[in-house]
A and B are shown apart, each in its own frame.
Chain A
Amino acid sequence: MSNIKLPIYLDYSATTPIDKRVADKMAQFLTIEDNFGNPASRSHEFGWAAEKAVDEARQHVADLINADPREIVWTSGATESDNLAIKGAAHFYRKKGNHIITLKTEHKAVLDTCRQLEREGFELTYLDPEENGLLDLDKLKAAITEQTILISIMHVNNEIGVIQDIEAIGEIARERRIIFHVDAAQSTGKVDIDLEKLKVDLMSFCAHKTYGPKGVGALYVRRKPRVRLEAQMHGGGHERGMRSGTLATHQIVGMGEAFRIAREEMATENERIRMLRDHLYDGLNDMEEVYVNGDLEHRIAGNLNISFNFVEGESLIMALRDLAVSSGSACTSASLEPSYVLRALGRNDELAHSSIRFTIGRFTTLEEIDYTIELVRAAVEKLRDLSPLWDMYKDGIDLNSVEWVAH
């Protein structure tokens, strides 16, 4: 305990710290002493050196996902990549059809982009996942029409960590000549991605969930068969016209280095992280009325999203001030709506309000997990002693049979 630094960071799906090796590399691309040139400068050594660094980073990103470096377009992050992919493809292929299919548990960067396209006249289908968070492929097939031009399904869900079967979805899309976009912001370094094999046409990435810097991402745009996009950012024609704007060399180099490290270390790292996650799960699972949200099998190693029934999430987070975790409860927002992801799984409001997401990463230690288990158990016990719902449960009252005075 004595050597644990508080608070303990268990929110790696929100963001990760930059790996020191990455930061060191980035620092070589800033000042007059360094390689600060504009990669688009063709007339001198400064530009050439920067371009070389960007090319190397592009190769590292391509290597992690087994793609061609010419298929990588730099962006400012996964949100921009999602926007470029979805709007860009929808606008380019709108003569072919106007129907787009996505999933209710997608990140807001996808859902809000789809909402915008609806306002522009596109037809959208938002599929419900199964209770375990996974997409039923038959439901996807049934939703496809003659008009469908684009399917956008995420790889790894940010809240519950479940992994969608993008290999099978890709087969379905390709067979019907529908463009398939995947938001892979949460999956690099956690799940193998082989774009030689996967029939994915567009894939969004960011650096900061994989120990790289915030503010940089990439979009994979398939060359064979070629996928076309309408640019969303116009200007100097950078990135083969798909995304104009001076390349942020230091950010890009950071992303490249982060992905290079991920490729080298992900196998051993995920094994260690899975061990820690399972240890956390075992330490909490023997308590009464504890529910894991999302499938445990098809799930990244570092995610544990768990509901402590009859305990409200925000008060639990307050009791866990020594932990940096996130909750599916949204008592702070005006709407009082709990997590839309958990609601989409069919979780009732109580369980959605009672959820905590622990995400474990590169710098998490076993001591930290042991301490976390102790803290969480004590906090849940304390809050259940305070909870009228817990008393009712213990008295055998079915909470669904109670007529609540909603406010």
Chain B
Amino acid sequence: MAYSEKVLDHYENPRNVGVIEDDTSVGTGMVGAPACGDVMKLQIKVGDDGIIQDAKFKTYGCGSAIASSSLVTEWVKGKSLDEAADIKNTHIAEELALPPVKIHCSVLAEDAIAAAIDNYRQKNQ
């Protein structure tokens, strides 16, 4: 299968790989399952002003899953939680030119953002 330039770029040079040390300003979302062939872990660090200052990811999955998570770490930075929650899988799929069989990777990335935001909000109720 041919990958788009953008998928290849994110795959070759993934942005924001890593782990943020956990505290109350950090939201962590982990979605997917090993049995399905992909697991995404997305972390966001939120400032006092409610803006996402940093994001990191780790992903087990195909190239499109890695690219989708790498892309969303770039996109969520500088956004408020509500703005970040507005990132939809269609945006991700379009940006990376994902073929139909890879749409689930973008869905997973959207889910990962939602899970990370949820986790942050639970900690900071």
Contacts and interface: CB of A to CB of B under 8 A. Distances in A.
Contact of A333 (B33, B36, B59, B101): B101
B75 interface: no
B33 A406 contact: yes
Residue among B1, B30, B32, B36 having the largest count of chain A Cβ atoms under 10 Å: B36
B32 A404 contact: yes
Interface stretch (A169-177, A293-301, A312-320): A312-320
Contact of B17 (A336, A385, A390): A385
Which of B11, B14, B63 has the most chain A CB within a 10 Å cutoff?
Answer: B63
B92 interface: no
B61 A391 contact: no
Contacts of A233: none
Contact of A336 (B31, B37, B63, B111): B37
A187 to B, nearest CB: 31
B41 A353 contact: no
A389 B108 contact: no
A127 B59 CA distance: 36
B59 A349 contact: no
A318 B37 contact: no
B31 A407 contact: yes
A405 B33 contact: yes
Interface string B83-110: 0000000000000000001001001100
Interface string A363-407: 000000000000000000000011111110000000100001111
B60 A318 contact: no
Interface residues on B, range: 20 to 34
Interface string A27-60: 0000000000000000000000000000000000
B39 interface: yes
Given A385-B17, A405-B30, A407-B108, A314 B35 contact: no
B101 A334 contact: yes
Contact of A312 (B14, B31, B61): B61
Listed residue (B19, B101, B107) with the most chain A CB atoms within 10 angstroms of its CB: B101
Contacts of B19: 391
Contacts of A353: 34, 37
B27 to A, nearest CB: 15
A204 interface: no
B38 interface: yes
- Most chain-B Cβ atoms within 10 A of its Cβ — which of A331, A338, A391? A331
Interface in A273-300: none
Contacts of A387: 58-60
A315 B62 contact: yes
Contacts of B30: 388, 405
Interface in B64-96: 65-66
Contacts of A268: none
Contacts of B33: 404-407
A329 interface: yes
A118 to B, nearest CB: 28
Given A386-B66, A388-B41, A407-B108, A350 B35 contact: yes
B39 A389 contact: yes
Nearest to B61: A312
A245 B115 CA distance: 62
A11 to B, nearest CB: 16
A312 B60 contact: yes
B55 to A, nearest CB: 14
Contact of B35 (A311, A318, A330, A349): A349
A200 to B, nearest CB: 38
Contacts of B11: 315, 318
A211 interface: no
A318 B61 CA distance: 11
Contacts of B63: 314-315, 318
Given A386-B17, A404-B35, 12 more contacts: A315-B63, A331-B37, A334-B101, A350-B35, A353-B37, A388-B40, A388-B59, A406-B32, A406-B33, A406-B35, A407-B32, A407-B104
Which 5 pairs across A and B sit closest by C-beta, in order of nearness? A404-B33, A349-B35, A388-B41, A314-B62, A388-B58
28 contacts: A311-B60, A312-B65, A313-B37, A314-B62, A318-B3, A318-B62, A329-B62, A330-B37, A331-B61, A336-B37, A348-B35, A349-B35, A350-B35, A353-B34, A353-B37, A385-B17, A386-B17, A386-B60, A388-B30, A389-B60, A391-B19, A399-B34, A404-B32, A404-B33, A405-B30, A405-B33, A405-B111, A407-B108
Interface of B: 1, 3, 11, 14, 17, 19, 30-41, 58-63, 65-66, 101, 104, 107-108, 111, 115
